Amino acid sequence: MDRKATILALVGALGTVLTALATHGSDAIRALAGVPVLIQAWASGLPLGFWSFLLALVLATLVWVTAIRNLPVGAGGKAPFAAANAVALVLGPAVTVAQQYFAATRTPGALLNALILGLIAGLAAPHIGALLRGKARTAP
């Protein structure tokens, strides 16, 4: 069942990208190519730049994978996805905002950029972790 859900999610994502390309053509390609530039621009105020974002993403992903494997199984025998997602969503912004808070410049705009990047990392971590984790614990 887990493999089937992963395949369906990948097919859905691929269908979305193909629909955007078919509908908007070169404009969609330009927009997708601009995402790394946007992340780099937001991260330029962080102490480590783009590496600050990657650090938050890697830490949130590793904590998500650990949480999904080690948190107790729910009453219905389901894996603890909600709790693991919440942990990743809190950790991503915590890492980037903490880096910005202890940096030399602490302007509201820089903290907001750090918060946005952390939220992106926290929201992306479960998706990346789902590709890495293998099987979650379920009831025996």
pLDDT tens profile 21-44: 888 888 878 887 888 888 888 787
How much is the pTM?
Answer: 0.74
Cα angle vertex 115, ends 46, 16, to 5°?
105
With cut-offs at 50, 70 and 90, classify the pLDDT of residue 1: very low
The answer as to whether 2 is a domain residue is no
| Range of the structural domain that residue 123 is part of | 36-132
The answer as to whether 120 is a domain residue is yes
The answer as to whether 24 is a domain residue is no
Domain count, the chain: 1
The answer as to whether 9 is a domain residue is no
Residue 2: per-residue pLDDT:
62
pLDDT-above-70 percentage for the chain: 91
The answer as to whether 7 is a domain residue is no
Question: Whole-number mean pLDDT of the chain?
Answer: 82
pLDDT tens sequence across 12-21: 888 888 887 8
Burial 100-122 (b: 16+ CB within 10 A, else e): beebeeeeeebbebbbebbbbbb
The answer as to whether 3 is a domain residue is no
The answer as to whether 139 is a domain residue is no
| CA 73 from centroid of its chain's CA atoms | 23
Residue 111: per-residue pLDDT:
86
- Give residue 138's identity as a one-letter amino acid code: T
The answer as to whether 29 is a domain residue is no
Asked whether residue 52 carries a pLDDT value surpassing 80, the answer given is yes
| Average pLDDT of the residues in 125-133 | 82
| Average pLDDT of the residues in 86-109 | 87
Per the model's pLDDT, the better-predicted residue between 87 and 108 turns out to be 87
Residue 5: per-residue pLDDT:
67
Residue 134: per-residue pLDDT:
54
